[in-house]
Structure 1
Amino acid sequence: MGTPDPSTLPYCTVCGSPRLVERYLGHRRCEACGSTRWRNPLPVAEAVLVRDGRVLLVQRGAVEHGAGKWVVPGGFIGLGETPPEAAMREAGEEAQVAVRVGGLAAAPRWLATKDGRGHVLLSFVATTDDEPAPGEDTMDIRWCAPDEVPWDALAFPTTEALLRGLVARSPDARRFPDDALDIATAEVVSGRARRPRPRFCARCSGILALLSVGGWRCTRCDTWHYENPRPTAGVLALRDGHVLLGKRRPGTAGGGLWAVPSGHAEPGETLEETGTRELFEETGVRAAAERLAGLFWDSEHFEAVYTGPALDTEPAADHRPEFTDLKWFDRASMPPAELMHHSAPHVTAWLVRQGLVR
């Protein structure tokens, strides 16, 4: 359920105007209504179902990519649904099961694509009481122990990376684990303005009709248009038991509150690269995204937060476009939750529990 590449289509989907101006990296701004057509990586949600040490794989049918190959149930996240909701929907469509979704089964992964945007994959632990059966676009299903996986017939390198990563963290290499990663996860309100929904076809400017979650079809030329939540990422720099937070500028989402330095992923960029770049742009501090600390979402965005040791001792004075103040906090000086924005209260509490902030 990916969006047609916006850099190749002539019309604004919000107002139908052809007055689109190239900004950077393929993003395009409409001079008529001011909306921006972002060209971010596309998000995918997967349901990792494990029963008695075996993982459920589905064989893809007549689809554009990976036909006849094996994957875990999953697909694109539509605008208006959260990543866990997308994982539940995809499991129902591909394996005809109702699932309960838990935490992340693996850290987010990135898949390169020909258009240069890339896909970001979020894999959730899931359970079901139903017996799976092939869905409309699925040829077959199979429960597989590690030595039963058709390793040479997996659809994507990210599927292999997921399964091998699960085996690597299992206490028994003959079984897939059914537990989630020990990270912070939560649905949170971003505070950002709601994105305008598309009304006009980007190919012919015809009227769009909403037909599925995040999916619109043109009533004139039948072109499908998909809108997806935008992936964001941040890095929390650590130094001597302290964590660096920024106070948001007034007039912005979360203005006056302490927050994680973060921002939207650019085309071709992994979430780790996004977080590292955003940290430096907003604070002047360098830190590698060494460890996943949390994943947070609503129906329009999701944010992966990483941690890593600071490579610079102090924030740079000229690197504060998003913040009015930057400060290192230890456990005793940490702001109360009501003075923190979005993911910050959840992920800083996790840092304290892990002993990374003291």
Structure 2
Amino acid sequence: MPVSRGKLAKRLPVNAGAVARLARPSASALVRKLPFPLAPASVPVGVEPPRRESKVGANYDTEWARSYPARAARVLLVEGVVRPAMEALARPQVRGIDRLGSLEGPVVFAANHHSHVDTPLLLSVIPEPWRHHLFIGAAADYFFGNQLTSALSALVIGAIPIERTKVSRTSAQQAAELINDGWSMLIFPEGGRSPDGWGQAFRGGAAYLSLRCEVPVVPVHVEGTGRILRKGSSIPRPSPTQVTFGWPLRPDEDEDSRAFATRIERAVAELADEATTDWWQARRRAHAGTTPSLQGPAVGAWRRAWALGERGPKRRRRPAWPDLG
């Protein structure tokens, strides 16, 4: 027996909210009904609509972070927050400041990279006149992933986005323009944090900018930050650190960026040898060409960890059984 539409409507439960949502037009539909230019123009059939360019990542504009208000805020943050925090957390011992005495103008600081603590630590120990006229080359995919992290990275540490997965002319052009304007740069030529406590091969960014802008490179070795906050950890643990500045380097005549990058890496390795032994032994090994590599021995993972010794990341020890003797 057929049922009329009215009787069927009475039998079926009615969700008033669902009906209201279906009846209410969406915001995008309302926008589409607006006349041009209040709404975007329609795209003809067969024509691919233009893609919106991302405003974050390598495309994030950091020019505002070098305005006077942003620079003043960064000075207050570095001197009032970052430096006291690093004194309490890292207790840095700084060596080699005297090697920078004859330097004038912008330079490129090239340091090894073990931890996220490296950046605030170096911001707190790089001496004047460079500390507050400094920008940092930071990974675009990590520090500039969204609008919030992009703004914080640009404001607090003066970072600019650097693409580490491919060669980007935009990043290099921006860094070169800032150096030519008198800004110094802090860069980690390894391209990322150490995965196991040993270093990684240096890329050519610092060497390229030195050649292009005709500025010296200052090699820097950072020791101990991996024990504070190693890769994969989120809770920092206080531990002493050591920062060693080397003699400024300039490219030799007819030296390309690849050869100069290798020489910068070797200089940082010599500073690492100096930090773990003493200046005299490190100089003797450097003269003989036997300085240990930053990249560690080419052996198995457990032997690489064992070779780090006391320089390796601290691990939580298991509690010992009480002596009930």
- Radius of gyration: which is bigger? 2
Query: Does the pair score TM above 0.5?
Result: no
Give the TM-score of the pair, scaled to structure 2.
0.26
Higher strand share: 1
Give the TM-score of the pair, scaled to structure 1.
0.24
